[in-house]
Every structure is written in C-alpha cells, then in structure tokens.
Amino acid sequence: MTAAPILKLEHLGVTFPNHPVFSDLNLTIRQGEFWSIVGKNGVGKTTLMRTVLHQLRPTHGQVAYLPNANEVKIGYVPQFRNIDADYPLTMRDFVGLNLTGWKWPWLSRKEREKVQTILTRTGLEAIANRPIGQASGGEKQKAYLAQALVEAPNLLILDESTASLDPVTKTELLDLVIELNKSLHLTVLFVTHDIPMARKYSSQYLMLTPNGAEQGPIGGLTQEKVWEGENV
Ligand SMILES: Nc1ncnc2c1ncn2[C@@H]1O[C@H](COP(=O)(O)OP(=O)(O)OP(=O)(O)O)[C@@H](O)[C@H]1O
C-alpha cells in the first residue's frame, strides 16, 4: 500500500530581488520516505528547506502539509557549528532546550522523561551530564539531532548536518536516523553533497539545477549527474 503524503510542493518558486532561485517545483513526499536533496552550491537547497520550515514565503505556489499543518511536526538539524568550551549547559540541558515551556523556565517531569528517552535512543546517556562545550564534534552534532527529535517530529530535516563529520561519525549519525526512519516511520529530508551517503541511506532524490529539477528513486542518482546538473 502506498503511504500517505506528508508534504507537497505545488508549483513552488522563490525569487530573491532580480534572482530567481527555483520555479515551478512539484514534489510529493510520503510518510516514511527518505529523500536526499542534492545539487551544486547555490542552486537553492537551503532556500527550499527554509520555505518548507515556513521561514521564507514562496514567491509562487505553495508548500502543503498533509493531512494538515497541525499534523506535521518538523525537526531541524543544522550544519555543524562549534559550541564554545565554556558554554554553560550540559548535553542534557542542551537537548531539553526545545522543550522549555512558555509557562515555566524549567522542565516538567514528563519533559525530563522525554529528554531521557531521546538521550538513550541517541546513545548520549553516558555523557548526558558533561558540559556540551567539552564534547567532541560528533557528540555535539548528535546532541543537535537529539534536540531536533525530542518533540517527536514526523518530518526531520538534515541540512548538511553531516558535512564536517569524519566518515565514522557521519555513518553513526545516519545509522541512527535510518533506524528511526524504519522503526518510527520518520520522514527524512537530507540535504547533502555526499552522493555515496545519499545513495546508501535514501529512498528517493531531488536534484536541483540552475535550469530545473529532477527527481526519482535513489538508484538513478550518480555523482556524474550532479556534476553535469546544468544539463537537466
Ligand atoms: N536572503 C537572500 N537574499 C538574496 N539572495 C539569497 C538569499 N538567500 C540565499 N540567496 C541566494 O540564493 C541562492 C541559493 O542559495 P542557497 O543557500 O539556497 O543554495 P544552496 O543550494 O543551499 O547552496 P550550498 O550548497 O552552497 O549550501 C544563492 O545564489 C544565494 O546567494
């Protein structure tokens, strides 16, 4: 049975002043799919993610959330940014930041349980009380992932989140994501320049080019295709 759609891009276009980024983009993403979003520098991958996140209004068309916007909860993992050694939060505090309610500045028991569950799931339990500034780059990036997951999203955006990680840590992080994708039916959008990783983990790809876009099952994506992207 085909899974239900969670996101539809309908004739989507974004133009910055005098600079069209993409236009007439049409795409249906179904629950539990793992899409890689690829293309050369500057073709609009981050712009597209910002549009999906509602940070940017499209110039044309729309992003439709299905069955409705209230049912689509998005988790976002940014590109790795270092955190100062003297940053005053533990890994646990950092993961819980997304939960700090509007009413109280501290977490309820239920929220603390949610943090604990996700720390265990992401393998960070043993270092949960370590100051995050003293964690390794890979551990910090896992903490960003845990923070994105703590509210139980059904759509996860990885925006070049593995770009500066070594191959072992990159694989660890993506193994975790695919495990959640399989076990929880988490839908994933993985923005990447790493075509072998895209091929290893994704089910589909969307390739943006200066002249349009191409999409399909991941088996059809090659490094050469991305290098020759202008010809699509
Ligand atoms: N707020 C903005 N105002 C004007 N132009 C912008 C703005 N944001 C992005 N752009 C331009 O839009 C184009 C697409 O940028 P975007 O960051 O989406 O590309 P990308 O595919 O994610 O690139 P990269 O692979 O280098 O991260 C670029 O030419 C960029 O300079």
pLDDT tens track for 53-90: 999 999 999 999 999 999 999 999 988 778 888 888 99
Q: Please tell me the residue having the least CA distance from ligand 1 atom 16.
A: 44
Range 136-162 average pLDDT? 93
Mean pLDDT of the residues in the chain: 92
Counting beta carbons within 10 angstroms of the beta carbon of residue 43, is it exposed (0 to 12), middle (13 to 18) or buried (19 or more)?
Answer: buried
Which residue's alpha carbon is at the smallest distance from atom 5 of ligand 1? Answer: 16
Domain extent at residue 169:
1-73+153-232
Q: Is the CB of 47 under 6 A from ligand 1?
A: yes
How far apart CA 162 and CA 156 sit, in angstroms, is 14
Can you give the pLDDT at residue 105? 66
Distance CA 173, CA 145 (A): 8
Residues 224 and 157 in one domain: yes
The finding on whether 19 has its CB within 6 A of some atom of ligand 1 is yes
| Dihedral angle sign, alpha carbons of residues 79, 84, 88, 89 | positive
Total residue length of the chain:
232
Is 226 a pocket residue for ligand 1 (Cβ < 6 Å)?
A: no
User: Would you say residue 130 has pLDDT above 70?
Assistant: yes
Could you tell me the pLDDT band of residue 18, with boundaries at 50, 70 and 90? confident
Q: Is the CB of 20 under 6 A from ligand 1?
A: no
State the CB neighbour count (10 A cutoff) for residue 168: 9
CA angle 118, 120, 126 (to 5 degrees): 125
What total of structural domains would you count in the chain?
A: 2
Looking at the structure, do residues 158 and 145 belong to the same domain, yes or no?
A: no
Confidence tier at 182 by pLDDT (50, 70, 90): very high
| pTM summary value | 0.93
Read off the tokens for 205: 């790809």
pLDDT at residue 95 in the model: 93
Tell me, yes or no, whether 213 and 231 share the same domain: yes
Q: Are residues 170 and 147 in the same domain?
A: no
> Hey, CA dihedral for 213, 66, 150, 217, is it positive or negative?
negative
